[in-house]
Amino acid sequence: MMDERQAIAAFAALGQEHRLRIVRALVTAGPDGLAAGVLAGGVGVSGTNLSFHLKELSRAGLIQSRREGRSILYSAAFAGLSGLVEFLMRDCCQGRPEVCTPAVEALTACLCLPGDTAHA
């Protein structure tokens, strides 16, 4: 469970336009992730700047990397992102579940089942 200190670090990392674009691109790419060069081109930053931003996002627990052959692939750390959403919504509703319904519906809409091409 994410604590306040971790949430502040995550929000600080996301509070920069390139980093937010990087995370959104990696969420869109899914668990397979993207190679650094593809990611840099997709979000419009140089390789040097990308490296700096990736380091900050990794420290905040929002992305992860893995080596495949000679490439390093970056992907969203879905557990960290889920923890951030949970942190925000933990005390939601105050006994009024309709307050949280729009957020729950938005999250439910993005869930793809195996073989579901409607969200691909």
Cα–Cα distance between 89 and 84 in angstroms, integer?
9
This prediction's pTM: 0.82
Chosen CATH of 1-115 out of 1.10.3720.10, 3.40.50.300, 3.40.30.10, 1.10.10.10: 1.10.10.10
> What pLDDT was estimated at residue 118?
42
Q: Does the pLDDT at position 85 exceed 80?
A: yes
* Nearest Cα to Cα of residue 82 among 27, 19, 20, 18: 27
Domain-wise residue ranges, the chain: 1-115
> What pLDDT was estimated at residue 110?
67
> What pLDDT was estimated at residue 115?
47
Query: What is the average pLDDT score of the chain?
Result: 88
Residue 115 has phi, psi (to 5 degrees) of: 85, -5
Q: Does the pLDDT at position 119 exceed 80?
A: no
